Amino acid sequence: MTPADMAATYAAAFTQSRPWSTQEFQTLLQSPHVFAAGDQRAFALVRVIADEAELLTIATDPAFQRQGLARQVMAGWQAEAARRGAVTAFLEVAADNTPAINLYESCGFESCGRRAAYYQRTQGQAADALLMQRDLR
């Protein structure tokens, strides 16, 4: 999976926000702390620093959604993050993104905070961010 593959899947999946470019994925992946999980149908990008993992993004191509791929990718990146020494995982999600919140809750993440008007939208009002976390031990 190349940075261009990631940018294509991301652009297909995220319709309400500015897509990340190939260059942005490339730059993130140059960090030794960042890794990708999954494949072009569904992938996640994760950063592990010391004992904390952060889910930077996850996306499933709309042609492959509701087939359990994101759940598989979630399990894969959490195992890799734990292997790299992470004991806690964090993520941020728009408070109105019900599919993603359902996914994260079904993977054991719990809400631990909220940031008001955090996500700018291409149309309409900014959305709050929910912060979620989970123990990886």
Ligand X SMILES: CC(C)(COP(=O)(O)OP(=O)(O)OC[C@H]1O[C@@H](n2cnc3c(N)ncnc32)[C@H](O)[C@@H]1OP(=O)(O)O)[C@@H](O)C(=O)NCCC(=O)NCCS
Which residues in this chain contact ligand X in the complex, by CB under 6 A? 13-14, 42, 58-60, 65-71, 93, 97-100, 102-103, 106
The two beta strands, 88-94 and 110-119, are: unpaired
Beta strands in the chain (DSSP E): 34-38, 42-49, 52-60, 88-94, 110-119, 127-135
Which of residues 48 and 59 has its CB atom nearest to ligand X in the complex? Answer: 59
Beta pairing partners, 111: 132
Which of residues 68 and 85 has its CB atom nearest to ligand X in the complex? Answer: 68
Tokens of 95: 């408070």
Which of 104, 105, 110, 118 is labelled catalytic?
104
Q: Which residues of 82-97 are buried (b: 16+ CB within 10 A; e: fewer)?
A: beeebeebbbbbbbeb
Q: How far is the CB of 58 from ligand X (least distance, A)?
A: 5
Active site residue 92: yes
Going from the C-alpha of 76 to that of each of 37, 39, 80, 89, 103, the distances in angstroms are 7, 11, 6, 13, 14
Q: How far is the CB of 112 from ligand X (least distance, A)?
A: 15
Q: How far is the CB of 98 from ligand X (least distance, A)?
A: 5
Which of residues 13 and 86 has its CB atom nearest to ligand X in the complex? Answer: 13
Active site residue 118: no
Which of 24, 52, 80, 92 is labelled catalytic?
92
Which of residues 37 and 58 has its CB atom nearest to ligand X in the complex? Answer: 58
Residues designated as active site: 92, 104
